[in-house]
Amino acid sequence: MCGIVGAIGLKEPRGYTLRGLKTLDYRGYDSAGVAFFDNGLKIIKDVGSVEHLMDIVPNRIKSNIMIGHTRWATHGVPNKENTHPHLSNHKAICLVHNGVIENFMELKKFLLEKGYEFYGDTDSEIVANLIEYHYLENKDVLKSIKEVMDLLKGNYAFVVFTPDDTNHLYVMKKGSPLIVGKGNNFNLVASDASPMIELTNTFIELDDNEYGVLSNKDATIYNQAGEVVSKEYIHKDIEAISHDLKGYPHYMLKEIEEIEPTVERIIDTYYVDDEFQFDPNLVKSLKESDHIIFIACGTSYHASLVGGRYFEDAGQSASRFIASEWAFHPTFPGQKPFIILISQSGETADLIHCLKIIKEHNLNCLVITNTGGSTLDRNCQYSLLLHAGIEVSVASTKAYVAQTALLALLAASLNNNKRVIKDLKDALKIVRDIKNNYKPRIQAIAEELKDKTNIFYLGRGFDYFLSLEASLKLKEVSYIHSEAVPGGELKHGPIALIEEGTPVIVFITDPETASSMRGNIEEVRARGAIIYEISTKFLAKEEDNIVVNDYAYYLSSVAISSVAFYLAYYVSLAKGLNVDKPRNLAKSVTVE
Ligand code: AGP
């Protein structure tokens, strides 16, 4: 989703701004642009990649100020007009925006009545003109942005400047993240810290309803009441985003193959000298809680389904919620709930919304994330890092496995159940075996599936959780419609869709549910489905397509999710798609 960078006081702002936009491209975007002041205001923007922008932005730019933006279309199609930066009618205000302004129609109506015209369809252009409207009256940008903030409904991060004064850059924030990076005689701003780490490791995080002004030397931040707030500088060493494919053709493949070292690293981090290494206060809070509430989105939600079972099996009661649903109807089961947020990126807007609600209720909260220094990492009471290394491919793979492995360890630590370590190590043997010996077989299945339009995944228990993730992965990168159905639900509706030739992929690794699953297989076979069984030796039948050695079945998400990931990868490849950057998706979903 949209990414923002900005700089004031850099001698050569082009490099930082464009590299910064490239760093933020994990958020997904369809167009990109920059604005600066070099012999007058220059705005250069276009639909397409940051690489394309690099080609059209001049090599030498002398400007004290520069802002940049990658846009992921929300209001208005991806075209040049809707691409940021936006300029107001009288060319007095230039800005970039991340977020969504909910009352933009009402504000647009007001401006239309005042004679304003619009070249595009974005809510952001309306805000540029609204700030200008106030600025032309009061000649004070800071005052104008405060007045406009009082009128805006929605979530936003804005970086603003006026060509009348290139010694100041203005920022405003509500809901969408915005970080200021402090340098020696320069200040930076960006949607997250990653673009800035090449120049500084000292940051100020803006809180909601704050706004401010940056000059070369200073960063002054104000609260909603217009008072200066003394912001604490955070010093964070943040992992740089690596764009090194290390010889792999795609990040997705590289990241699937990093599952094994990732889980090994998790074990080495959270289990040292035969002891679990979790903060005793965290473990105490978890034990004392009478209900664990998991909240997450997408793949991370699928990890929470697995994690919920681990906590239940460890004697806790647990609920799992999709963040965007919970945010609109927050429920707090139990007398003493404890909340676990799961997020690879730590920047997902739906979860940030949930965190606000959690804080309003003064509840204990842990985030499990792969991104140290992210909004959730900084703002949750407890944070456990996945140490999976940066995940670049939009389709999450190693982070999902890391989330479930870490949840297995955390749940086991409540009862000091050390058996989990051996089980995890055994599960990694399966991961290795799949990587070394099963890829050609999986690729052959992918060839059979590539032209299908509907694919079903079936499973029960842990196999159902895995089916959900397998199905999401396939649809993300192959654009084939796919559904995961709990075996027992088939006859309650979905079986109507099974016809001659429909592929049905079935996981049979959970001994508690295996025989019921065999029954479901016969039901869909009788209706002409083509079955692909993925099973473990102990539960296998001769006709099964993929049979792996046995492991502790509760760790299926660790042991055999790679079968599903490779399958999705090879189908995408067979269809000639952009596997690492599927259409319409973003690595980090920063708008609700
Ligand atoms: C994963 O393959 C997806 N791209 C997506 O579902 C993702 O898991 C979801 O957006 C949640 O992201 P997060 O883990 O960064 O919060």
Is 39 buried (19+), middle (13-18) or exposed (0-12) by CB count in 10 A? Answer: exposed
**pLDDT grade for 175, boundaries at 50, 70 and 90:** confident
pLDDT at 239: 61
Ligand 1 atom with minimal separation from the 396 CA: 2
> Kind of pairing, strands 503-508 and 530-536?
parallel
Burial class (CB in 10 A: 0-12, 13-18, 19+), 215: middle
pLDDT digit string, tens, across residues 353-372: 999 999 999 998 999 999 98
- Specify the ligand 1 atom closest to the Cα of 394: 4
Ligand 1 neighbourhood includes 298 CB (under 6 angstroms): yes
Query: For residue range 61-81, what is the model confidence (pLDDT) as tens digits?
Result: 999 999 999 998 888 888 999
Contact 82, 31 (CB under 8 A): yes
Q: Which residue has the tokens 């709930």?
A: 337
Measured in Å, residue 393 CA sits from the centre of ligand 1 at 11
Whole-number Å distance, alpha carbon 325 to ligand 1 midpoint, is 15
- Considering only residues 113 and 236, tell me which one the structure prediction assigns the higher pLDDT: 113
Q: Check: CB of residue 258 under 8 Å from CB of residue 398.
A: yes
Query: Quick check: 52 pLDDT over 90?
Result: yes
CB 149 within 8 A of CB 174: yes
Q: What is the pTM of this model?
A: 0.80
Residue 27 has pLDDT above 80, yes or no: no
Helices (H), 244-365: 251-256, 259-270, 280-288, 298-313, 323-326, 349-360
Q: Per-residue pLDDT for 8 more than 70?
A: yes
Q: Would you state the pLDDT for residue 321?
A: 98
Contacts of 475 (CB under 8 A, 6+ apart): 481, 482
Which candidate in 2, 297, 354, 365 is catalytic? Answer: 2
Q: Is the CB of 348 under 6 A from ligand 1?
A: yes
Indicate the DSSP class of residue 175: B
- Rounded mean pLDDT, 38-65: 94
137-141 long-range contacts (CB < 8 A, ≥24 apart) are 141/93, 141/165, 141/168, 141/170, 141/213
Q: Does ligand 1 lie within 6 Å of residue 194's CB atom?
A: no
CB 562, CB 263: distance < 8 Å: no
Is the confidence at residue 240, as pLDDT, over 80? no
Query: Considering 45, 146, 439, 587, which one is annotated as catalytic?
Result: 587
- Is 532 in contact with 506 (CB distance < 8 Å)? yes
Task: Calculate how far, in angstroms, residue 587's C-alpha sits from the geometric centre of ligand 1.
Answer: 7
Number of other residues whose CB lies within 10 A of the CB of residue 219: 21
* In the predicted structure, residue 587 carries a pLDDT above the cut 90: no
- Decide if pLDDT at 243 tops 70: no
370 lines ligand 1 (CB under 6 A): no
Q: 552: buried, middle or exposed (CB in 10 Å: 19+, 13-18, 0-12)? A: middle
Q: C-alpha angle with apex 591: 4 to 221, nearest 5 degrees?
A: 50
Rounded to the nearest angstrom, the distance between the alpha carbon of 77 and the centre of ligand 1 is: 24
Query: What is the rounded distance in angstroms from the CA atom of residue 33 to the CA atom of residue 47?
Result: 9
